Chain A
Amino acid sequence: MNDFTYHAPTSLDDAVAALRGAEGGTLIAGGQSLLPIMKLNLAAPTDVVSLAGVAGLDGITDDGDSVTVGAMCTHAQVAGSATVQGRIPALAAMADGIGDAQVRNAGTIGGSLAHNDPAADYPAACVALGATIVTDRREIGADDYFQGMFMTALEDDEIITAVRFPVPSRAAYAKFANPASKYAVAGVMVADGPAGVRVAVTGASGDGVFRMAEMESALGDSFGAEAVAGMGVSSHGLLSDTAADADYRAHLVTVMAKRAVEACG
């Protein structure tokens, strides 16, 4: 790991200023992805700006039609939140299945979304639930936010402050995890919410999260496992690795979609 300058701002303005003033700066919001890649010298930022001390990025609130999660909420906080468990239990369950206990105690929703690992769980939840990513300067709909592997709509100095999730009538997440890394090989979030039925898939494509329009349409007509159980998924463009080749992944997307629908009850 190369030497870097560490910043610990207490306000968003100071954080943005630190980022702008750096030659090659990065935010740290839990560090569960950033620190490993820094140790491997895959990232060598000149400046690391911590969001841990920035006020106003924590807390989970029930807004009636939606639940707002502060960007610095850890996965464990989301999983353990009575509000999330009560209003969007699928989101709490999804957060409870991220990584391992240490990762859940340190990693944050904002950090995960800013990183946009193609095998992370949160992108599927955000897209299926039709979440809004709130930043220090604007609001971005989930459909516009994710722009491919490790790519997002965020500007270089933009900071996520919260994520607003509309409360669905029903939703569930089913994940087939890589046996080694526990990242999603195929993770499918199905939600029946204000924007209709949405099916979002993570882990399967190198381009990151994507929606299954055909499944959404079938479920919109008739919400039940049988609507998607026989629906084949094209392996074209899907990831292929030691845990799952593209054909197996495509099959798993269908199975996970079916299981998510079943879990919606």
Chain B
Amino acid sequence: MSGNGTGIGASVKRKEDTRFLTGRGRYTDDINLPGQLYGYILRSGMAHAKIGTVHTDAAKAAPGVHAVFTGRDMEGVGGIPTGWEITNKDGSKMVEPGHPALATDKVRYVGDCVAIVVAETAEQAKSAANLIDVEREELPAVASIEAAEADGAPLVFDEAPGNVCYDWEVGDKAATDAAFDAADHVVSIYVVNNRLIPNAIEPRAAIANYDPATGDYTLYTTSQNPHLVRLLLGAFVLGLPEHKLRIVAPDVGGGFGSKIPHYAEEAILTWTAGQLGRPVKWTCERLDAFKSDTHGRDHISTAKLALDADGHFLGLHVSTKANLGAYLSTFATCVPTYLYGILFAGPYTTPAVYCEVKSFFTNTVPVDALRGAGRPEATYLLERLVDKAAVELGMDRVEIRRKNFIREFPYQTPVALQYDQGDYDATLDLALEASDWAGFEGRRAEAAARGKCRGIGISTFIEACGIAPSAVVGSLGARAGLYESGSVRVHPTGSVSVFTGTHSHGQGHETTFAQIVSDMLGVDFDAVDVVHGDSAKIPFGMGTYGSRSLAVGGTAIYLAVEKVIEKGKKIAAHLLEASAEDIEFENGSFTVAGTDRSKTLGEVALTAYVPHNYPEGLEPGLEETAFYDPLNFTFPAGTHIAEVEVDPETGEVELVAVTGADDVGRIINPMIVDGQLHGGLAHGIGQALLEECRYQEDGQLETGSYMNYTMPRAADLPSFNINHNTTLCTHNPLGAKGVGEVGSIGVPPAVINAVIDALRPLGVDDMSMPATSQRVWQAIQRANG
């Protein structure tokens, strides 16, 4: 790793930005196929209703309309599957109801797909949809966890009594109970993790085509993992073999988890294209995105922490209720379990941890992964609880954390994970220094003189990224492997194409992966292009989520490059009349050790494709593929510190400073890494201060547009103070951990802890997310009695 101007560790400007910033990106909606028609999805306006006949004659007769299909037409087509089967405490399996792509007997949330209208233009399709008459009998709805678990609550699915999907646990309950029996102090907390709407800037879209000449289907779709869509859509829904179904996820404008799942619309479009023999295009409108993109979070938890007299953590007990929405989205079931419960050791040596999670069906949009997916929920609970413990025990908030840090690695937690490496003191010290934690009381006094309540809050956290290995996740219920593929094709004249099964929708893979390959092969950065997002081009892939792309996908590429170098050594040895064992490869040249005799990569590549003078028995060509299945998760960690000023008169919270000290493993491109941190912080700050998805009791989405769903804007955010302390992951050759979700995991509790710190002098000791001005003002009023 030479670390040259474009190599590993260099802040190379992103290859992809030229096309994005000049309007030359090619997103799904930019793609138009000859003869295409436009689909409009009619969605349910009721949260829960029985469906009778759907009268489509008037719509079918409307101008430009080619077809209208309903759930009855799609009967016989498979339902939308879920990707992870959870086992209950008692050993039975979770309840897994069917999810028809187009509703048949019932609709279960506002936004549920009822029919597709296909017309010459999008406007015609939408207008005609107004003419569809759906016979409906409205049923009482459950729009929250509280409503779902109430005695006698209406059932979302008859086969799920009490609306429970599963009742899961992890950890040793007896050992945890014993820890509480032995404790000097027990600190309890109740927290709500607010439901969020992802709001990727590019709405979902799809265009499906069927070629009757070959029987091939092609689906262009806004997906974070096209191969998974191919697997689920082909094998489970439509019954199409992989070689007849091509999925292309071209440029995608943000996903944040909401583009991981395989959606009903993808199945409806592909099936419809097959029925009509014409391409059909659908682009989701923003208001429909609010009620049909998967939502995130939505937990209610109680937890208690057992401590000894000195403030050492002895045990942690967590009881969580999670809202899964109306159907099981692709990763819905594993987010509140295997991406949540196993995080509760955090960076601490708590010897006994137990977590139980009961998940509920409700008449709301299905919930799936959202940036962080389970880990923000766990970190928020734990870091709020640790802060509360410090207050109740009269301890310093920093010292109680430091007192309980893990310092010996590898560290086996009581909840399955084994941390390979970390240095939590180092990031804590760095953050304290960078934020001038020691000087805070002076700033508090200065703010008080201006009539403002200033507070500071901290969060020390770990996360688990690059979920793996496949055999382990399989034993826990995953229905897919979690490895990655990478292919490296050195062309005859020395330029390189890299094929990755990960997918870039803002992460900058085209740059980061090119840096790795150009650095390792010693070829010019501009001579390396990264190809992703097309199942016809990529061997296989598991896509991008869970901060896995560099640690898992990057490693697969790394291993493929090593194979290329190994083969190149054999070719070079032949040309140089030496033994392959004596060939060294550095800076793009194969050299006989201890001599000046060498061949460039370009010469070797040309020889591989024009093998006139070539090793006997060696295959021509210079292209290698590696599949990499990690040995373990990776464990980024860090400390986030937030500083706020509250206007006690209005309750407004101004976030005045955010400091991060992060250990994300090997950094390939510092600029991209900081950009990922900034984006994640904005996301986490949005959850902490601004974003809240609210449903009315009848299941109508109350925050269904930007009129009342508050996304973070630049003006809501301070300039971030980002710092790095790196330890390397021990089990992948890059030493990479992951960065995309760090901000959304680490910062929300730091912000809320800061708000509580600011308000404590006013008698306020609790605050829910988002800490809106109204919520803060009301808390102050309550404290004032």
- Residues of A that sit less than 8 Å from B by CB: 1-2, 40, 176, 178-181, 183, 241-245, 248, 251-252, 255
Contact = CB atoms under 8 A, between A and B. Distances in A.
Interface in B677-732: 690, 692, 694, 702-703, 706-711
A243 B706 contact: no
A143 to B, nearest CB: 29
21 contacts: A2-B127, A40-B287, A178-B707, A178-B708, A179-B772, A179-B773, A180-B707, A180-B709, A181-B706, A181-B707, A181-B708, A183-B707, A242-B703, A243-B772, A243-B774, A244-B774, A245-B774, A248-B774, A248-B777, A251-B777, A255-B649
B650 interface: yes
Contact of A242 (B649, B650, B702): B702
A255 B707 contact: no
Contact of B710 (A176, A180, A183): A180
8 closest cross-chain pairs (CB), A and B: A180-B710, A179-B710, A181-B707, A242-B708, A248-B774, A180-B708, A255-B649, A244-B774
Interface in B286-301: 287
A255 B780 CA distance: 15
A255 B707 CA distance: 23
Q: Identify whether the interface residues of A are mostly helix, strand, loop, or mixed.
A: loop
Given A179-B690, A248-B777, A241 B649 contact: no
Given A242-B694, A248-B778, A180 B772 contact: no
Nearest to A241: B708
B778 A243 contact: no
A40 B707 CA distance: 14
Interface in B70-118: none
Contacts of A1: 123
A1 B130 CA distance: 12
Interface in B628-676: 649-650
A102 B738 CA distance: 38
Contacts of B702: 242
Contacts of B772: 179, 243
Interface residues of B, number: 21
Contact of A252 (B650, B703, B710, B711): B650
A259 to B, nearest CB: 9
Contacts of A180: 706-711
Nearest to B716: A179
Q: Max chain A CB contacts within 10 Å: which of B123, B649, B703, B709? A: B649
Contacts of A241: 708
Nearest to A254: B649
Q: Max chain A CB contacts within 10 Å: which of B127, B707, B772? A: B707
Contacts of B650: 176, 252, 255
Given A178-B707, A243-B772, 20 more contacts: A40-B287, A176-B650, A176-B773, A178-B708, A179-B772, A179-B773, A180-B707, A180-B708, A180-B709, A180-B710, A181-B706, A181-B708, A241-B708, A242-B692, A243-B708, A248-B777, A248-B778, A252-B650, A255-B649, A255-B650
A178 B710 CA distance: 9
B281 to A, nearest CB: 19
Contacts of B707: 178, 180-181, 183
Contacts of A181: 706-708
A35 B123 CA distance: 16
Contacts of A252: 650
Q: Max chain B CB contacts within 10 Å: which of A178, A183, A252? A: A252
Nearest to A1: B123
Contacts of B127: 2
Contacts of A255: 649-650
Nearest to A3: B123
Interface in B147-199: none
Nearest to B690: A179
Contacts of A242: 692, 694, 702-703, 708
A243 to B, nearest CB: 7
Q: Max chain A CB contacts within 10 Å: which of B702, B703, B774, B777? A: B774
Contacts of A178: 707-708
Contacts of A251: 777
A255 B702 CA distance: 28
Nearest to A186: B650
Nearest to B287: A40
Interface string B349-371: 00000000000000000000000
A180 B690 CA distance: 8
Q: Max chain B CB contacts within 10 Å: which of A40, A180, A244, A252? A: A180
A244 B772 CA distance: 10
Contacts of B123: 1
B85 to A, nearest CB: 37
A1 B285 CA distance: 13
Nearest to A2: B127
A180 B711 CA distance: 7
A40 B285 CA distance: 11
Nearest to B694: A242
Nearest to B711: A180
Interface string B514-529: 0000000000000000
Nearest to A256: B650
A190 B774 CA distance: 24
Nearest to B127: A2
B711 to A, nearest CB: 8
A68 to B, nearest CB: 33
Interface in B768-782: 772-774, 777-778
Contacts of A183: 707
A147 to B, nearest CB: 24
A179 B649 CA distance: 17
Nearest to A181: B707
Q: Max chain B CB contacts within 10 Å: which of A40, A183, A244? A: A244
Nearest to B651: A248
B739 to A, nearest CB: 28
A237 B709 CA distance: 24
A40 to B, nearest CB: 8
A244 B710 CA distance: 13
B456 to A, nearest CB: 23
Contacts of A248: 774, 777-778
A243 B690 CA distance: 10
A183 B711 CA distance: 15
Contacts of A245: 774
Contacts of B649: 255
Interface in B748-776: 772-774
A176 B650 CA distance: 9
Contacts of B706: 180-181
Contacts of B287: 40
Contacts of B778: 248
A251 B778 CA distance: 11
Nearest to A178: B708
A42 to B, nearest CB: 12
Interface string B112-144: 000000000001000100000000000000000
Nearest to A176: B650
A1 B707 CA distance: 20
Contacts of B703: 242
A251 B780 CA distance: 13
A40 B130 CA distance: 13
Contacts of B777: 248, 251
A37 to B, nearest CB: 12
Nearest to B650: A255
A185 B432 CA distance: 38
Interface string B435-471: 0000000000000000000000000000000000000
A206 B774 CA distance: 19
Contacts of A179: 690, 710, 772-773
Contacts of A2: 127
A52 B614 CA distance: 76
B361 to A, nearest CB: 25
Nearest to B712: A179
A180 B123 CA distance: 29
Nearest to A242: B708
A248 B690 CA distance: 17
